[in-house]
C-alpha cells in the first residue's frame, strides 16, 4: 500500500480542495484539469525518480488511483 498512499498524498497536495477518496473517476468528476495532471506528473517523476512520457499523459492513465498505479508500474515503480 506504500505507493497507493504516496499517490493519494501527492494528489491531495496537487488539489487539496478536492476529495479524491469519494471519486472512482477523477476525470469524469472534473477533479483534475490539464494543469493538475502536468503538476501531478512532475510530482510523481520527482517522487520516484522517473520521467513519465508525454504519450502517457492521457485521461485513462489518471482516472483513479489504480490507473495511476498501473502507469507507475510501467515505469518500474511497484508496490
Residues in contact with another protein by CB under 8 A are 27-39, 41-42, 52, 54, 57-59, 62
d(CA 70, CA 76): 10
d(CA 75, CA 52): 7
Q: Which is nearer to another protein, 4 or 58 (CB)?
A: 58
Q: Which is nearer to another protein, 1 or 55 (CB)?
A: 55
Least spacing, CB of residue 25 vs another protein, in Å: 9
C-alpha neighbours within 13 Å on the C-beta side of residue 64 = 7
Q: Which is nearer to another protein, 5 or 24 (CB)?
A: 24
Amino acid at each position: 500500500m506504500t505507493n497507493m498512499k504516496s499517490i493519494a498524498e501527492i494528489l491531495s497536495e496537487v488539489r487539496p480542495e478536492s476529495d479524491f477518496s469519494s471519486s472512482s473517476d477523477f476525470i469524469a468528476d472534473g477533479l483534475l484539469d490539464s494543469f493538475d495532471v502536468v503538476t501531478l506528473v512532475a510530482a510523481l517523476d520527482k517522487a520516484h525518480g522517473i520521467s513519465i512520457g508525454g504519450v502517457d499523459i492521457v485521461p485513462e492513465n489518471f482516472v483513479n488511483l489504480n490507473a495511476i498505479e498501473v502507469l507507475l508500474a510501467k515505469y518500474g515503480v511497484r508496490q
